[in-house]
Structure 1
Amino acid sequence: MTLKRTAPLVLLTVAALSMSACAQSDRDSGSDGGTSGGDVKDTFTFGAAGAPDVFDPLYATDGETFRITRQIHSGLLGIKPGTADIQPELAESWTPSEDGLSWTFKLRQGVKFSDGTAFDGKAVCYNMDRMYNQKGAGQTAAEYWTYFFGTFSDDPSGSLYKSCEAPDDTTAVINVTRTTSSFPTILSLDSFSMQSPTALEKGDANNVQSAGEGFTYPEYSKNPVGIGPYKISKYDEANKTVALVANESYYGEQPKTKNLVFKIIPDESTRRQELQAGSIDGYDLPNPVDWKGLKDAGNKVEVRPAFNILYLGLNPERNPKLKDLKVRQAIAYALNRDQMVKSQLPEGAQVASQFMPDTVSGYNTSLQPYAYDPEKAKSLLKEAGAEGMTLKFAFPTEVSRPYMPDPQKIHAAFTKDLEAVGIKVEQVSKPWNGGYLDDVSANGAYDAWLLGWTGDYNAADNFLGTFFSDLKGNDFHTSVMPWGKTLSEDLKKADAIVDEGEREAAYQDINKRIAEEYLPGIPVSHSPPALVTSGKVQGLTASPLTAEMFDTVTAGK
C-alpha cells in the first residue's frame, strides 16, 4: 500500500502491523508436513561455500553461518518468504506505546524450545537481557548487537535497548531509548533469535574469550537450543559437514525433509561438479558464466533481485596517505568497475554510485559512479604527493558471496588497475572464517580490502548505518577523519526522523556527501545472486535477502 509521507512513523507502524498481525506465519499453512512417500528422499544436501563460525547466532556475523543457524532458531519477527517484508513468527502481534518507546509483543502459546523449555514472556526478557549484558570479549564478538542496538549495559547511554518486562506468560514488553525506523524490524535478524534460557544457563553461553585474532566459544555454541524447524545433529569438522535433523517439538508443521546436511565445499567449480554428480541437491552463488549450462542440464537457477553492495574498503588509520580525499578519489578513478561488472558479474549487475541499492528509500538518483579515468587518478596522486604509494590490499578465500562470486578474480582485476596508475599493491588473502573477517573488523589489518553487504531489511539505516554510524567501531576507521563524527551523528539523526519524506531527503543528502566529500571507501557494484538446485528439488523459495528456509523443501529421488 502507499503511505502518506506526513503520517507519524508510530502510527504508520501500528497500521501496517495491525494488518500483518492478523495473518499466521506461512510456515503454519497448508500441508500435512510428512516426509514419507515413494518419490521423496529424507535428506536434502546443500553445498555451502564456507564453514560456519559459531552456532550461537548472537556471535555470528556471516552468511554461511546464518544459513545454518536460521534453520535451528526463530525470532520474535520473521521474514515473509520471497520478500524483504517482516511477518509474525514467535510474536503474533506487536504494538507500540504512544511515544514509540515501549513495544508490547503478544506471543504464540504452547511453544517450546527443542529441549522442552517453555517459550514465554520471561524467556524473551532473559534473551534480551542476556544480549544486553555481554561483557569483555562477548561484546566484541556480538557484532550485530553493536551494529543495531549500540552499546551494552555497562554503557547504557549509547544503547537502543533499555529493558524488558514480562507481565504474563504470553506477553513481553520491550522498552527502547529512542524511536528509530529499524525497530522492531531488527528483531527479525538471525542474531536476535530466541534461545532456551535453560540451555544458555547450563552451557555458560556467555563465556566468550579472546584468542589471538578471533575468539573461543563455550561448548554451548556447538549445540545451541532454539525453536526452529531443525536442530543440530552433528558438526563433523574433519569431513566438513553439518547435519541437522527435524525438530519434533517445532510449533509449526514438520519439515518436508527429515535430514538437512550442509556439505562445505569452498570451490565453486567443485560444488557444480557435485551437483551434476548428484552428491548435493543445491548450492548458492553459481558462477554467472555457468547459469545457462546449469539450466540446460535440467537444474533450476533462481535469480534473486540485487539487494546488496560490493565495496573496496579503506583504512586511513593504518595508512595515513588515505586521509587525503585526493588519494581516495584517485583510487576510485583507477578502478575499471564497468569492465569488472561486464566480465565477472551476471546480467543485471551494475556499477554502484553509493553504498546502497536503488530500491532503498534515500537512494540519490542524481549521483553517478566515479568514471574510469587512470590519467585523472595519476594526476590526483601527484597532487597529493602519493605517487608510488603502497596499499596492503586483501581479499577473502574459501568463500563466494552474493555480491562477490569470485573474490580472487575481482581482486586481481583491481590490482592490475591500481598498479597501472603507479600504486604498489601488497596482495594479502585469508579464509573468510579463518581470520579475514576478524582482520577487517577487529584488527584493522589492511589498507584496502574487498567486502560487501546483503541487506537484512529494506531501510537506509541497514546499509549506511551499519557501515558508518558507530564512530569508534566501524571498519572504515572514520574516527580519524575530520568528518567522521559528523557523518555518524547525521546518520543517527536521519534514522530518528519520523516523517518518511524528510527522512528520505536526509539520506539522499548524506549519500551525496559520502560520494563527493567523504569517500570512506569505493562502492563497486550491485549484483543479482542466484541459487541453483537439482531439477528434482521442490518447495524452495529464493529470498532477496539470501535468507532461505529449507523446511519446505523436498529433494526427490
Structure 2
Amino acid sequence: MITRTRMARWAIAPAGIAVAAVALSACAGDTSDTAPTPNADLPQDIVFAIKEDAGCIDPQQTSVTTALNVGRQLTDSLLDQDAETGEIVPWLAESWEVSDDLTSYTFTLRDDVTFSDDTPLTSEVVAANFDAIIELGGAASLAAAYLEGYTGTEVVSDTEFTVSFDTPNVAFLQGATTMSLGILSEASATATAEERCAAPIGSGPFVLDSYVANDSIVIDRREGYDWPSELRGHEGEAYLETITFPIITEASVRTGGLTSGEYDVIQDLPYIDEARYTTDEYTLYAKANPGVPNGFVVNTEQGLMGDETVRQAITMGVDREQINVIAGSVSGSAPTSVLTSSTPGFTDLGDTLAYDPEGAAELLEADGWELGSDGIYERDGETLTVAVTAFYAQDVLEAAQQQLREVGIDLQLNMVTAGDFFGVIASGDYEMLGAGLTRTDPDVLRVLLSVDSPSRWGIVDDAELEALLQEQRETADADARQEIVDEIQQIVAERAYVIPTLETVQLHASRAGVEGIAFDSASRLNLYDTVVTSE
C-alpha cells in the first residue's frame, strides 16, 4: 500500500507572488473547542461583495469561482491540501490507504460529523455523493473529471469504504481535497440538480440562510461545528456569525464600497487598483491559480494549427512579460511553463518560452513563408491567419494579437459567451481556445490533452506525449512521476500544444480589521478562521 507520507511528497513550487493574507496567531491544535472568539465584543458579521451571481452554489456542479468561494464555506471534503507544501492531510476522513496500482482508495471517516440537517456522515452517504456525480454527467464536469474511470464505492462499514476505478487514477487523492468532491448530505445527493443548486446541505462551518439570484447570498455560523482540518487556525465553531455576499457586478462599485466602509471584503480587486489599496488601511490577498495558465490551447486538426512551425512562431511571438504588465498585476508573474508556478510538479521552462520575435521570423522564413506588403506572412497564396475562441480575458488576447501582428502573424479573436464557448468545444470547430484550466495536480495536462479524457480541449495527435500522459497517471512514486511530468511539460511547450500568456491571480481585498482570510490549494477562499478585530 502507498502510505500517506509517501503520497505527500508532492510540493508546490514557489508561486512567485506575495500573499498578503493575515494569519491568526493560533495554530491548529493550540486552541480548544471552548476557546472564545477573538474580539468577541465586536459584531462578528461581515459584508463580502462578490462580482457575479453564483448561478449554482452546489460545489459538485459549479465551475464558477464565485460560487466555489461561497460553497467552500458550506461544504467539507474528505481530505485537505496544504496550499504551500502540497501535503495531503485528513479532514472528514481521518486516514486512507491507496492500492499499489492506484485503482482503489480506502478511507476511514471520522465518527462525529453531521450535516446541517442533523443527519450523520456515513460511508453510505459518501457513496451516494460519488454515484450522484456520475449521474449528473455534464452538469458536474469538474467533479466527474476527478472520478474518471469510477466503478463504484464499496461500503465496508459506517466509517470505512473503498472507491474503485477501472484504470489508475493518481489524481483522485488530490481531487478528494477539492470542493468539486465536497460531501453533501444524502438529501442533497439524491435531490434534483436544480434543488441542489439552490440549497445544498453540507457539513461545513456555515449554513445557507438565503440566496436571491442576482441580489445576494447570506450564510450563518453553524452551531456545534467541530471538525476542521488540521490546516485551519482554530477548532470549534467559525468566528464569524454571518457573512452577507451582495452581488456587485461593477468593479468600481465594489472598490468604492470598500473605500467607504460599506463592504468589509471585495472579490476580484482590479489589478489596476492594486497599488492604491496597498496601504495600512487594507489587506490584499493574492494567489495564482494552479493548473494550466491562461493561454492558447490548440486544435492541430484545424487551419494552420497542424503546422508545428506556425505554433512555435506564435510561442516565440508572445511577450509574456509585457502582457503581465498590461494586465496590471503587481502580484502576478509571467508564465514560464505550461503549468502555473503554483502547481505541484511545475518545471521552469523560461528558456523554451522566451520572447524571440527575430527567431519567429527566421523560423517562418526557413519554412517558406514570405512577409507580405501588409506586414503579414504569406505562403503559396495563403495568409498566416489563425483564430482563437474565448469568452474572457479579451484585454490579454488583444495584447497578444498586437504582439503577433508585429511578427507577421494575423491573430483573429472570436469572443463568445461562456455557453457558446463550451458548445464550440463540443463541436471541435476551433483552431485555438483562449483559456486556462485550474487543478492542483500536473495530471491537469492529461485532462486537457489526452485522447481518452472527457474534458479534452487540446486536440493533438502525438503518440509519444499520449504515452507519457498515461504513464504519469499510473506512477505512484513521486520522484519517478516528477521525471515524467518534466518531460511532458517540455514536449507540450516545445511543440506548442499549449501557448501560455498569463498566470491568472486571484486578487481580493479587505479593510484592516478583518483577519484570517485564507486560500485553499485551488486558490479558493476559506473563511472559517476569519474574524473581525476592529471596526
The verdict on a shared fold, with TM-score over 0.5 as the criterion, is: yes
Q: Determine the structure 1 residue equivalent to 2:202.
A: 226
Distance change in 2, residues 1:45/1:55 (3 Å): same
Query: Within the alignment, does 1:190 sit opposite 2:190 as a pair?
Result: no
Q: Determine the structure 1 residue equivalent to 2:217.
A: 242
Q: Bigger CA drift: 222-231 or 104-113? A: 104-113
The answer as to whether partners of 2:312 and 2:494 remain within 8 angstroms in 1 is no
Where in structure 1 are there 5+ consecutive unaligned residues? 1-9, 18-24, 151-158, 206-217, 398-406
Query: Percent identity over the alignment?
Result: 20
- Correspondence for 2:355 among 337, 356, 371: 371
- Correspondence for 1:435 among 409, 419, 426: 419
Query: 1-side partners of 2:477 and 2:7: how far apart?
Result: 16
The answer as to whether partners of 1:194 and 1:226 remain within 8 angstroms in 2 is yes
Superposition TM-score, scaled by structure 2 size: 0.81
Where in structure 2 are there 5+ consecutive unaligned residues? 9-26, 228-235, 370-376
Query: Within the alignment, does 1:361 sit opposite 2:352 as a pair?
Result: no
Query: 2-side partners of 1:176 and 1:465: how far apart?
Result: 17
The answer as to whether partners of 2:302 and 2:429 remain within 8 angstroms in 1 is no
Query: 1-side partners of 2:425 and 2:433: how far apart?
Result: 11
Higher helix share: 1
1:346 match: secondary structure = coil
Query: 1-side partners of 2:345 and 2:108: how far apart?
Result: 30
Superposition RMSD in Å? 3.4
Distance change in 2, residues 1:424/1:490 (3 Å): same
2:339 match: secondary structure = coil
Q: Bigger CA drift: 540-549 or 505-514? A: 540-549
Q: Determine the structure 1 residue equivalent to 2:478.
A: 500
The answer as to whether partners of 2:296 and 2:388 remain within 8 angstroms in 1 is no
- Correspondence for 1:552 among 513, 520, 529: 529
Alignment of 1:135-534 (within 5 A): 138-150=136-148, 159=149, 161-201=150-190, 203-205=191-193, 218-239=194-215, 241-248=216-223, 250-252=225-227, 253-296=236-279, 298-304=281-287, 307=290, 309-316=292-299, 319-347=302-330, 349-358=332-341, 360-361=344-345, 363=347, 365=349, 367-373=351-357, 375-376=361-362, 379=365, 382=377, 387-397=382-392, 407-430=393-416, 434-435=418-419, 438-439=422-423, 441-442=425-426, 444=428, 446-456=430-440, 459-461=441-443, 463-471=444-452, 473-478=454-459, 481-483=460-462, 486-517=464-495, 519-526=496-503, 529-534=506-511
Distance change in 2, residues 1:476/1:331 (3 Å): farther
Q: Which amino acid aligns with 2:448?
A: F
1:181 match: secondary structure = coil
Query: 1-side partners of 2:466 and 2:240: how far apart?
Result: 46
Q: Which amino acid aligns with 1:516?
A: E
Distance change in 2, residues 1:50/1:340 (3 Å): same
The answer as to whether partners of 2:352 and 2:493 remain within 8 angstroms in 1 is no
Distance change in 2, residues 1:351/1:413 (3 Å): same
Following TM superposition, by how much is the alpha carbon of 1:443 offset from its aligned partner in structure 2, in angstroms?
5.1
Q: Bigger CA drift: 91-100 or 528-537? A: 91-100
Query: 1-side partners of 2:107 and 2:292: how far apart?
Result: 33
Following TM superposition, by how much is the alpha carbon of 1:248 offset from its aligned partner in structure 2, in angstroms?
2.8
Following TM superposition, by how much is the alpha carbon of 1:259 offset from its aligned partner in structure 2, in angstroms?
1.4
Q: Which amino acid aligns with 2:202?
A: G
Distance change in 2, residues 1:465/1:40 (3 Å): farther
Query: 1-side partners of 2:188 and 2:2: how far apart?
Result: 38
The answer as to whether partners of 1:113 and 1:225 remain within 8 angstroms in 2 is yes
Q: Bigger CA drift: 497-506 or 306-315? A: 306-315
Query: 1-side partners of 2:420 and 2:260: how far apart?
Result: 32
Alignment of 1:55-66 (within 5 A): 55-66=57-68
Q: Which amino acid aligns with 2:220?
A: V
Query: 1-side partners of 2:477 and 2:138: how far apart?
Result: 34
Distance change in 2, residues 1:443/1:285 (3 Å): farther
Distance change in 2, residues 1:497/1:79 (3 Å): closer
Q: Bigger CA drift: 272-281 or 346-355? A: 346-355
1:533 match: secondary structure = strand
The answer as to whether partners of 1:312 and 1:448 remain within 8 angstroms in 2 is no
Q: Bigger CA drift: 495-504 or 531-540? A: 495-504
Q: Bigger CA drift: 285-294 or 254-263? A: 285-294
Please give the per-residue CA displacement for 1:144-181, whole angstroms capped at 9, x wherever unaligned.
2443232xxxxxxxx1x232222221222223334443
Following TM superposition, by how much is the alpha carbon of 1:223 offset from its aligned partner in structure 2, in angstroms?
0.7
1:113 match: secondary structure = coil
The answer as to whether partners of 1:476 and 1:520 remain within 8 angstroms in 2 is no
Query: Within the alignment, does 1:78 sit opposite 2:95 as a pair?
Result: no
The answer as to whether partners of 1:327 and 1:384 remain within 8 angstroms in 2 is no
Query: 2-side partners of 1:385 and 1:28: how far apart?
Result: 72
- Correspondence for 1:13 among 4, 27, 30: 4
Q: Determine the structure 2 residue equivalent to 1:93.
A: 95
